[in-house]
Structure 1
Amino acid sequence: MSDAPRTIEGRCLCGAVTLTVQTENPRLRACHCDMCRQHTSGMFISVDTLPGTLEVSGPAQSFASSEWAERGFCGTCGSTLWYGTVHDGMRHPAAGLFEGAALGEMTLEFFADQCPQGYGLTGDHRKLSTEETIAMFTEGDE
Structure 2
Amino acid sequence: MLKGSCLCGDVTFTVTGKPYDPAACHCSQCRKMSGHVWAAAIVTEDGIEISGPVRWYASSDEARRGFCPRCGSSLFWQVRGSGQMDFALGAVDGDTGMHLGRHIYVE
Shift of 1:24: 3.4
Q: Residue 81 in 1 paired to residue 67 in 2?
A: no
Structure with a larger share of its residues in helix: 1
Equivalent position SS for 1:46: strand
1:105 paired with 2:99, answer yes
When normalised by structure 2's length, the TM-score is: 0.89
Q: Name the structure 2 match of 1:71.
A: 65
Letter in 1 for 2:73: S
Residue of structure 1 in register with 2:89 after alignment: 95
Select the residue among 48, 51, 74 that pairs with 1:54.
48
Q: What is the DSSP-based 3-state SS (H/G/I as helix, E as strand, rest coil) of the residue aligned with 2:50? A: strand
Q: Matched residues in 1 for 2:19 and 2:2: separation?
A: 11
Select the structure that is richer in strand. 2
Residues 65-103 of structure 1 show CA distances to partners (whole Å, capped at 9, x for unaligned) of 001111110011000011111131422000011134512
Q: Aligned partners of 1:99 and 1:110: how far apart in 2?
A: 24
Q: Structure 1 residue runs of 4+, over 4 Å off? A: none
Superposition pairs of residues 1-142 of structure 1, within 5 angstroms: 7-24=1-18, 27-113=21-107
Please tell me the residue identity of whatever aligns with 2:79. Answer: T
CA distances 1:4-42 after superposition (whole Å, capped 9, x unpaired):
xxx211011011100011243555211111111111111
Aligned residues: 107
**Greater Cα radius of gyration, structure 1 or 2:** 1
CA RMSD of aligned residues (A): 1.7
What percent identity do the matched residue pairs reach?
Answer: 33
Deviation at residue 49 of structure 1 after TM alignment: 2.7
SS in 1 for 2:72: coil
Q: Structure 2 regions of 5+ residues with no counterpart?
A: none
TM-score if structure 1 supplies the norm length? 0.68
Gaps of 5+ in 1: 1-6, 114-142
Distance 2:78 2:19 in 1: 19
Quickly say closer, same or farther: Cα 1:73–1:25, change in 2 above 3 A: closer
